Amino acid sequence: MLKEVSDHFEVLTLVHQTIDNMIEGLSQDQWLYRPNGTFNNIASIIDHTARVEKKFISAISGEPLDIDTQAPFKESQWDVPTIQKAWVDTLPYTRDVLERLTESDLDKPGLSLRVGELNRRQLIVFTISHTTHHRGQIPLVMKLFQG
């Protein structure tokens, strides 16, 4: 893996580990708890984050997947085991894609997002930023279900 990419993957791995530590041992009810009946629950946050990572990393691979990243926020029921598996599968998928990148790949187009056109190098950084953002939502939901 390229040094720059390896450094970014290490940061993403650390963010994943902190999320894993937060959600470890949560019950199904805690995964599904929706503060005020309308806020995002942990299931929707993790589902969304896994979908976004998969979508962004697939674009970095050059084989973009059409993934509805907003679907988890429109759901009224969530399949927690499926979401947990998708979350666990994101980091190995990311590693596999990033290991194959060349220096010239990093300057190729990544995705057009609300922030603008990102090349693949920028999309790696944006992926980390997005996951980190949603990582911050988890303790807020947990505080509300813990009283």
Per the rule left: phi > 0, alpha: psi between -120 and 50, beta: everything else, 78 is beta
What is the structure's pLDDT at 38? 84
* Inter-residue contact 101 to 120 (CB < 8 Å): yes
Per the rule left: phi > 0, alpha: psi between -120 and 50, beta: everything else, 66 is beta
pLDDT in tens, 15-68: 999 999 999 999 999 999 998 888 999 999 999 999 999 999 999 999 999 999
What is the structure's pLDDT at 146? 81
What is the structure's pLDDT at 10? 98
Q: What is the residue range of 139's domain?
A: 3-146
What is the structure's pLDDT at 36? 84
- Mean of the pLDDT values across residues 86-113? 98
Positive or negative torsion for Cα 90, 96, 98, 101: negative
Number of domains in the chain: 1
CATH number at residue 141: 1.20.120.450
